[in-house]
Each structure stands twice: as structure tokens, then as C-alpha cells.
Amino acid sequence: MDPQTLQTTGLTLKWLLTIAWLLPLLGFVVELIGGGWVWGRYSKNAAYLSVMCIVTGFVCSFIALMTWGNATEWSALKDHGATHGTSHAEPSRHASGVDAHGAPKPAAEAAHGHDDHAKPVAKDAAHPAHDDHAKPAAAVHVAADHAHGTPHHAAPKVVFTGIFYRLAQFGSLDISLSYYIDSLTLVMFTMVTFIASCIHIFAIGYMSEELTDNYADHQVHTSHGHLHRPGRFHRFFSFLSLFCFSMLGLVLAGNIFQVFIFWELVGVCSYFLIGFYTERKSASNAANKAFIMNRVGDFGFLIGLMIVWTWFGNFQFGDLPAHGQTQPGLFSMVRGNDGQMKLHVPESGQAEVVFKNQDNHIQTKPNGEQRTIPYWLLVAAGLGVFGGCIGKSAQFPLQTWLPDAMEGPTPVSALVHSATMVAAGVYLVGRFYPMFTPEVLLVIAYIGAITLFLAATIAVVATDIKKVLAYSTISQLGYMMLGLGLGGWAAGLFHLITHAFFKSLMFLASGSVIYGCHHVQEMPQMGGLRRKMPLTAYTMLVGVIAIAGLAIPYVTLPGGEPIAFSGYHSKDAIVATALTYMNLNGHHLLFFLPLAGAGITAFYMFRLWFYTFAGEPRDKEVYERAHESPWVMVGPLVVLSFFAAFCAFGGEKGLLFKLLLDSEPASVPGGYVAQTEYLSQGLLNLKLPSHEAIHAKHDRAGTLALIMAFVGAGCAYLVYGVRWVNAAEIKQQFSGIHRFLVNKWGFDEFYDMLFVKPTHVVAGWCSAIDRVIFDGFLHASAKAAVKVSDWDRQFDETIVDGAVNTVGNWTFAIGRSLSVVQTGRMRNYVMFIAVGLLGIFALLIMFFPN
């Protein structure tokens, strides 16, 4: 592939994905306006438009994936051997990636941020041999170049990065909207648009009740009985479109700040969609809860952003041309091109991570010092960003919003709250992976393990069909987090994709059940429905088998992979990683929790299926009225069930896994061992498993997980299938545990007591301080001023005026008395004058004798 091809490929990918990204936004605007003022309540135009947008988006994404594959000659799919990452590069491809860099970019254009260049970055995986090549950091080229002919080279990872437009620039700080396209981006785009297309089509049927002027909402009681309102069909689809835009923007984002922007946007779409039935108090409460709990996570995210921003001065994931040279992205800064962090302990103090360039050279400040970040701050930044992921992916301890989010219409639950948005947290962990230290990964693993177990236990006792699926989603997200945290990068993301298919399938199937049962969601009112809605039942069964991770024992494909549905492969990959990790590090819970979780998962999922579809109907009335859904709804189920079954075909030798593996950060394949000299600096003595190590444990882990899954499924069959054991009796025997679980481990009450109420109390205080103290002080001063002026008045009136009056009176009195002497007789006056003169003279003589 020559540089020209690379560049055109980059441009093609950029535009294809941009179209796929922006079409739903256009759809949103048109649907909002058209639905509100043009089309009327009975029109399905909004739905058609949004389906058109997302299907076109899918087509674009798929073409993009194909373009990328053709341009890289599908090297990702070629067998890298059992030990990924050590096979040889194709020289032609490598060299071309280099030459593409050699093509200098016009600096001015790059600096203005509207480059039409896609900048391919060839990352040289797992080969640290470049340090010798002294090359000035200012050069345009990426230095991975010199190793053309060197053997033992992994295939370079091709990443296309570039800038859409600039948001702001402060000195050397630059924030832009940009893109970062690698195979993970492409797979996510294809998955999201495909599943969204299915769900959009399903929703045409599911939301058709909204096509009316008089929708009766039986869950809302007003003073005039049930609520009647105009339908809101178009509004639903416009929000769905807005969501797709936000979600695709999140995946396409080329920097962590942009991720944050779309992170919040998917959050607000989720808020609108959960609260779609705005009249329902429970819905608006759930929407608020979802948004606020996500904000708690985002608070952590923001802290992570602050650290990254302050220390790195950069948000870009990938390397970008800027000011005539290549500006290394965050990943290069932390890990160079070989995936390794370079630690450094200054004479006084704690370990630091040294910043590198994309060519693995050390970055220096103008004064010659190395640019570094304290290790613990990098850990804090990682934990902060992961905090956001905890919120978004409903991980412990912020998991409680997701079950409540089931207040939204079921297609929303399928799209937003299982397949895409909640997986964004996992996606971000995967995307931001090079920035995470092993300590952060350990936290991620523990959070994942706790979450998967906790949610699975609650799912066992939930009776609302959607709630079971919600807890199941939380639990599966926990698996993904666990996988990523253990160093199984591809395993975690593999599970993300497979889960998206089978969970959206199951949500849609549950939607079909709810639709068919006229909005009954409680499983105790169901039973035997497979006779009424066979397609829904059996597509659902596909999903159940997939998530439970069942496989046919002892039968394998030619490559050695077992015959199983998608969930088996991905969960197996995670459990294998867990087993390897445990063998390396201890931390036994990180293996046994997911193992137990595998059993519980199989149990509660089969419980759901038996409860709903098998046996005899529990509520005759519901059963009688139940019916299969129309094709517009069942069709997507069938399509999704196909992918839920076979999207991971071939397991770790299959197409999907290899595609993902192509984007794996360079640090992952070889594993990691903490360097002993830094252990005194607070680094944990952790080891991350290499691909070979995991591969060695794979069969054992797979067998264990499979046994657990069969045990779980078997128990469910005994209790709910043939009803050999009475569930009610078990419930009674363990009523304490049951209550505890039904109560969701008490998190809601606990948070209410610990956070919500105190917040309101403090809020009350602040308000009271204003009223009582500040205004009190103000009023007191005002009163004092009035009082003082009052005294002033008193003083004026009594003392000053009194004095004046007194003086006046005296004067008057004196005058009066003097008037006595004013006789009017001349001789008297002459006498006064004479006496006066004599007196004066006498005085003068007395004082001035001379």
C-alpha cells in the first residue's frame, strides 16, 4: 500500500464515518421540526427518516470497514500464530506506513485545524529497538521508519487521526474535535449502527401505539382519571436519532475531551429517553437518577481530565501534525511506540513517568529537564477517568440507576441501556487503555468482579422481566471490566460486542413479550408463552444460550474451537484471563467471582426463559390476550438472533476477535511484570498475563466455566422448567437472603440516607444562612442605621434643637429683661453711654496700665 493509498483510505474512512455520524443529527432536527409542525400525529415519517439515517449510517460504516480491510489487505485476519504480536511484518505495508509520514504536511494547514489529511500513524508494536536512532523530535516523521527490513516485527497498527475543527486554543493548549480511527472504531461503528438499525425497525412496531391523538397512559392517574395525551411517536424517534449521533460521536472521538462531550450527550439522550413518559413520576425520577449518578461518575472523569490536561497539556489520543511537526498524542507520551512506560525516580521523591515521543525519544522541557508526571498522579488520572466509566457502565458502586432506567420504552433499554451507551464505559476503558497503570487495572478488575457478582445475585430474585435483563446487563458489563482490568484487552471488548448482540436481542424479545401481553412485565403473570409467541420465545432462547455460555462439550471445530454461541467465546476469553491472572498474582476473588457468576448467569437467564415461556400459564387472562408481535418487530429478532449466535464464530480464531486484536495496545500482548526497583516507590507487585500465558490456560478455564454454566442452567430447569423444586419454598427458607436481594443489597436506601438527604439538609442550611445570617446581619445593620438616625433625630430635637431653643429663649428672655432699660428716655441713654464709657476706660486702664 503506497502512501497515496494510505492517505485516500484515511480520507475515505473519515468521510464515511462522518456521514454515518452526522446523518442521525440531521434526522433529529428534521424529525423534531417535521413531527412537531408538519407531519401530524398519525405519520410514521419520523420513523422512516430515522431508520433511513441509521441504515445509511450502517452502510457507510460497513463500507468503511471493508475499505479499511482492503487497504490493509486484511492483514489483521491473517494468522499471527498462537503468540500474537511476534510474527513478522509484511515489509511492504510497513514501509508504506513510513513513507506516508515522510510526506510533509503543510504546517499552516495543519495548524488551522481543517486539514483534509488523514494522518496515518504506523505504530510499531512490541519492538523497543529504536532508541538508538537519534532523530530530532522536531522532525516531521515518525521514527518507526528505520526498521524497515528488520525482522521480528509485528504488523504495524494503522491508525487514522485528524482534526475536524478547533474548539479553542490557549497558547500551546489546543482543544479540537478530532477523530481516531482504528479497527476498534470501525467495529464499534458497524456494531452500533447495525444494532441501532434493528432496534429502530423494531420500534416502529413497538411504538405504534403512540400514533394517536389520544394515548391513554394507564400508569398515570390524574384528578380526571387516567391520563390521556397526544401520541409522541416522532419525539421518540428524534431522540433515538440524537442518541445515535451522540453515541457515534463518542466512538469516533479523537481525544478524551471530545469523549467527555459526547459522554454527556449520550447521558442527556438517555435522560430524555428514560423519561420519555414524562407524565410518570417513576420515569422522571429514574431519568433524574440516571443523569445525576452519571454526573457523580463524571465528577471523577473531570478530575481525570484536569490531571491529564495540566500535566500533559494535551487531550489527543493519537499523534497529530501540529506547527510543522508531529505532536505526540497521549498514548505516545505515556508509552512511546513500544507500549512500555519509562519510569524514573528523581533523587528526592516519588516515581515519575517520563514522557516520550512517538519515536520513543524522551521529551524534554526547554531547560533540558525531562517532562514527567508523578506516577501516583497518573494513577489518579486513570482512576478518575475510570470513575466516569463506573457511572456510565453502571458499575459498583454507581450501579443503581440502570435498573430504574427500565422505565424507558423497551427499544431504549435495548439500544441505550444494554448494547451501546452503557457499554461506552467499557469502550472508554479499552480506548484509554495505554494510560492505565497496572494499579488502575487492578481496581478496574475488582470493580468489575464485584459488580458482576452483585448484579447477578439480584437478577436471581427479580421478577420484572426487564429488571432481570437490566441486572444481567450490569453483571455482563462487570465481566467486560474485569476482562480489561486483568489485561485481557481484546477479551473485554470481544464480550462488549457479543453482549451487544445477544442482550439487545433479549431486550427486544422481552419488548415483544411486553407488547404481546399488553404491557405486563411481571414474570409471575406469565408462563407458557412460547405457544403464543414461538418466534419471540425461540429467538430469546438463542440469546439465553449465548449469554449463559453453553457449548457442546467434546466437539470442536477444525481449529480447536468449541461449537458454541457468541457468549461462550467471549466469556471464556475473560475467564481464561482471570485464571491466568490469579496464577500470576493471587487475588483469588478475581477468578472465583466470575466463575460463580457464570453459574448464576446461566441460572437466572434460564429462570427467565422458563418463567416466561415454559410450563403452564400463571395468569389466564394475560395468556389469553397474548399474541405474537408483527413482523416489523419479530424480523429484527430473527436477524439479531443470527448474529447473537454466530458473530463470534470461531472464537479467538474468528473474524471478530482478530479484528479487535488488531487495535490492541502494544503493551498488552507481551504481558507485564512490575520492575522490582520501583516497588519501594509504591508500585504494586503486579504481573499481567501475556497472550501465550492465557492461551495455555484457555482449555482449563473454558471447561470450568462450561461446567458452571451447565450447573446453573440445570438448576433453573429443575426449579422453573419442570418445577421439581418449589421456588416458593426455597424463597421461604432463605427469606432473609431473599429480602436482602430483593432490596438490591440496600444500596438505594443507603445512598438516600448517606447522600441525598444530607444534600438537602446542607442546601437548607445554605439557604438559611442567607436568610438568617447574611440578611440578618444586613437587616440588623439597617435597623441599627435607622436606630442611629432615630437617636440622631432625638439628639437634634432634644439636645441640638433644645440648645438652640434654650439659647433662643434665653436671648429672648434677656432681650425681654433688657427691654426694661430701654426706656426711651434720652437722659437715661446719655447716662448709660457715660457709664459705659467710664467702664471701658476703667477696664482699659486696668489691663493696659501703660
Count of C-beta atoms within a 10 Å radius of residue 307 = 21
Let me know if 66 is exposed, middle or buried by CB neighbors in 10 A (0-12, 13-18, 19+).
middle
Minimum distance from CB of 29 to another protein (Å)?
Answer: 11
Distances (CA, A) of 687 to 439, 442, 478: 10, 10, 21
Q: Is 280 an interacting residue with respect to another protein (CB under 8 A)? A: yes
Cell numbers standing for residue 73: 489487505
Q: Is 738 an interacting residue with respect to another protein (CB under 8 A)? A: no
Q: Is 350 an interacting residue with respect to another protein (CB under 8 A)? A: no
The owner of cell 490557549 is: 170
Q: Is 281 an interacting residue with respect to another protein (CB under 8 A)? A: yes
Which residues from 31-60 bind another protein, rule CB under 8 A? 36
Minimum distance from CB of 771 to another protein (Å)?
Answer: 8
Cell numbers standing for residue 19: 456521514
Please, which residue, 772 or 818, has the CB nearer to another protein? Answer: 772
Q: Is 398 an interacting residue with respect to another protein (CB under 8 A)? A: no
Q: Is 265 an interacting residue with respect to another protein (CB under 8 A)? A: yes
Helix (H) / strand (E) element for 811: namely helix 801-818
Residue 190: which residues within 8 A CB-CB, separation 6 or more? 58, 61, 62, 64, 65
Minimum distance from CB of 214 to another protein (Å)?
Answer: 13
Minimum distance from CB of 222 to another protein (Å)?
Answer: 5
The owner of cell 508509552 is: 335
Binder among 33, 763, 780, 830 for another protein (CB under 8 A):
763
Q: Is 369 an interacting residue with respect to another protein (CB under 8 A)? A: no
Q: Is 223 an interacting residue with respect to another protein (CB under 8 A)? A: yes
Q: Is 759 an interacting residue with respect to another protein (CB under 8 A)? A: yes
Please, which residue, 172 or 822, has the CB nearer to another protein? Answer: 172
How far, in Å, CA of 818 to CA of 809, rounded? Answer: 14
How far, in Å, CA of 424 to CA of 392, rounded? Answer: 7
Please, which residue, 174 or 561, has the CB nearer to another protein? Answer: 174
Please, which residue, 224 or 827, has the CB nearer to another protein? Answer: 224
Binder among 192, 273, 307, 542 for another protein (CB under 8 A):
307
How far, in Å, CA of 321 to CA of 324, rounded? Answer: 7
Count of C-beta atoms within a 10 Å radius of residue 367 = 5
Residue 136: which residues within 8 A CB-CB, separation 6 or more? none
Binder among 559, 764, 836, 839 for another protein (CB under 8 A):
764
Binder among 70, 310, 685, 809 for another protein (CB under 8 A):
310
**Which range touches another protein (CB under 8 A), out of 114-122, 294-302, 445-453, 666-674?**
294-302
Please, which residue, 212 or 288, has the CB nearer to another protein? Answer: 288
Closest CA to 339 of 690, 774, 65: 690
Please give the sequence-ordered ranges of beta strands (E in DSSP) within 173-298, or none if there are none: 173-181, 215-222, 225-229
How far, in Å, CA of 623 to CA of 617, rounded? Answer: 6
CA 204: distance to chain centroid? 28
Binder among 166, 618, 723, 738 for another protein (CB under 8 A):
166
Residue 822: which residues within 8 A CB-CB, separation 6 or more? none
How far, in Å, CA of 478 to CA of 393, rounded? Answer: 8
Minimum distance from CB of 781 to another protein (Å)?
Answer: 10
How far, in Å, CA of 416 to CA of 270, rounded? Answer: 7
Count of C-beta atoms within a 10 Å radius of residue 514 = 19
How far, in Å, CA of 490 to CA of 430, rounded? Answer: 8
Which residues from 766-785 bind another protein, rule CB under 8 A? 766-767, 770, 774-775, 778
| 158 beta partners | 122
**Which range touches another protein (CB under 8 A), out of 304-312, 630-638, 722-730, 738-746?**
304-312
Let me know if 732 is exposed, middle or buried by CB neighbors in 10 A (0-12, 13-18, 19+).
exposed
Q: Is 762 an interacting residue with respect to another protein (CB under 8 A)? A: yes
Q: Is 348 an interacting residue with respect to another protein (CB under 8 A)? A: no
Identify whether the C-beta of residue 551 lies closer than 8 Å to the C-beta of residue 701: no
Please, which residue, 294 or 577, has the CB nearer to another protein? Answer: 294
**Which range touches another protein (CB under 8 A), out of 10-18, 39-47, 130-138, 765-773?**
765-773
Which residues from 513-532 bind another protein, rule CB under 8 A? none
Residues 58, 63, 66, 71, CA torsion sign: negative
Cell numbers standing for residue 333: 507520551
Closest CA to 331 of 667, 98, 87: 667
How many binding residues for another protein (CB under 8 A)? 58
How far, in Å, CA of 115 to CA of 754, rounded? Answer: 51
Q: What is the dihedral of CA 399, 404, 405, 409, to 10 degrees?
A: 150
Binder among 129, 140, 261, 589 for another protein (CB under 8 A):
261
CA 253: distance to chain centroid? 13
**Which range touches another protein (CB under 8 A), out of 51-59, 91-99, 280-288, 796-804?**
280-288
Minimum distance from CB of 599 to another protein (Å)?
Answer: 37
Q: Is 376 an interacting residue with respect to another protein (CB under 8 A)? A: no
Closest CA to 527 of 635, 440, 616, 442: 616
Minimum distance from CB of 267 to another protein (Å)?
Answer: 9
Minimum distance from CB of 216 to another protein (Å)?
Answer: 12
Binder among 302, 557, 674, 696 for another protein (CB under 8 A):
302
Please, which residue, 285 or 363, has the CB nearer to another protein? Answer: 285
Please, which residue, 198 or 240, has the CB nearer to another protein? Answer: 240
Binder among 46, 188, 220, 694 for another protein (CB under 8 A):
220
Binder among 63, 292, 595, 596 for another protein (CB under 8 A):
292
Binder among 21, 237, 291, 581 for another protein (CB under 8 A):
291
Residues in contact with another protein by the rule CB under 8 A: 36, 165-173, 220-223, 227, 229, 260-262, 264-265, 268, 271, 275, 278-281, 284-285, 287-288, 291-292, 295-296, 298-299, 302-303, 305-307, 309-310, 313, 759-760, 762-767, 770, 774-775, 778
